[in-house]
Amino acid sequence: MNDTDLLPTIVTIVIVAIIVIFVITILAKSIRIVPQAYAGIVERLGRYHKTLDPGLNLLVPIIDRLRPFVDMREQVVSFPRSR
């Protein structure tokens, strides 16, 4: 084999590898797991879209953005005694 015959093969392998990495990254960003006792707020193009329940959820990768989780557990607050 010649060096000129090997070059198109290497270029093809590199392009395919870049596409595969891009697809895997997009799929990883579209799957979100919300822990129990939390809620996830989804913004679509900067506006509120929906609230995610705990469990496995799917998002549109480029358009949707998940805000930090909201803790849904009870908060205990102490109040001073009234006289």
Find tokens 């707020």 and name the residue: 41
pLDDT confidence bin for 81, thresholds 50/70/90? confident
pLDDT at 46: 92
Give the C-alpha separation, 77 to 45, whole Å: 36
> Sign of dihedral through CA atoms 29, 66, 58, 33?
positive
Q: Which residues are bridge partners to 64 per DSSP?
A: 44
Convert the pLDDT of each residue in 20-35 to its tens digit: 999 999 999 899 999 9
pLDDT tens-digit series, residues 38-67:
999 999 999 999 999 999 999 998 899 999
| Dist. CA 65–CA 43, nearest whole Å | 5
Q: What's at 35, amino acid-wise?
A: P
